[in-house]
Amino acid sequence: MQNFEPVKDYELALQRSKAENKPILIDFTGYACVNCRRMEENVWTNEEVKRIMTEKYILVSLYVDDKQKLPAAKQFTYTTKEGTEKEIISIGDKWATFETENFKNNAQPLYAILNGDEILLNHPVGYTPNIKEYKDWLLCGLDAFEKAKK
């Protein structure tokens, strides 16, 4: 089984998705997210789920509460779809804004599956403690990925 260490850089995940012809599994998470740890400890450790995630997906974990400041050159003011300006100063600001703007959600965990062209392949899901339900969702994303390639 491959390494289960997620990528923590969205652009790198996008590049790998295209190079390896695999969908991206985005894990919007947080250091302080209890349900995120529950998913990692109780669902992701299931052998079938783990195999699907490591062999069939590019997993990227984006921490919405990461307080590390972005380099000055990468800090910016973002104008939301509603026209509100928001300062993007930290890594967490960047990923939290990415989640709310693209997935209309600011809860963690939130899981989304995209292809290398950044097209959403199925409906994002949040906390899903039922292993079969989460596995079925992952398989649905793979099925949509295969259909989109044709």
The predicted model scores a pTM of 0.93
Hey, where are the domains in the chain? 10-149
Tracing tokens 């890594």 back to the chain, one arrives at 91
What is the pLDDT, as a whole number, of residue 3?
52
Q: Which of the four pLDDT bands, split at 50, 70 and 90, describes residue 137?
A: very high
Average pLDDT over residues 71-75: 95
Q: To the nearest whole number, what is the mean pLDDT of the chain? A: 94
**C-alpha–C-alpha distance, residues 14 and 9, integer Å:** 9
For Cα atoms 20, 94, 148, give the angle at the middle one, nearest 5 degrees.
35
- Top-level class of domain 10-149: alpha beta
**C-alpha–C-alpha distance, residues 146 and 107, integer Å:** 29
What is the pLDDT, as a whole number, of residue 34?
96
What is the pLDDT, as a whole number, of residue 149?
78
Nearest CA-CA partner of 64 in 93, 43, 100, 87 = 93
For the stretch 1-43, pLDDT in tens is: 345 689 999 999 999 999 999 999 999 999 999 999 999 999 9
Could you give the percent of the chain with pLDDT greater than 70?
97
Q: Which of the four pLDDT bands, split at 50, 70 and 90, describes residue 70?
A: very high
Helix count and strand count (H, E) for the chain? 5, 5
Average pLDDT over residues 121-127: 96
What is the pLDDT, as a whole number, of residue 131?
97
What is the pLDDT, as a whole number, of residue 1?
39
Q: Are 59 and 6 in contact (CB under 8 A)?
A: yes
What is the pLDDT, as a whole number, of residue 148?
86
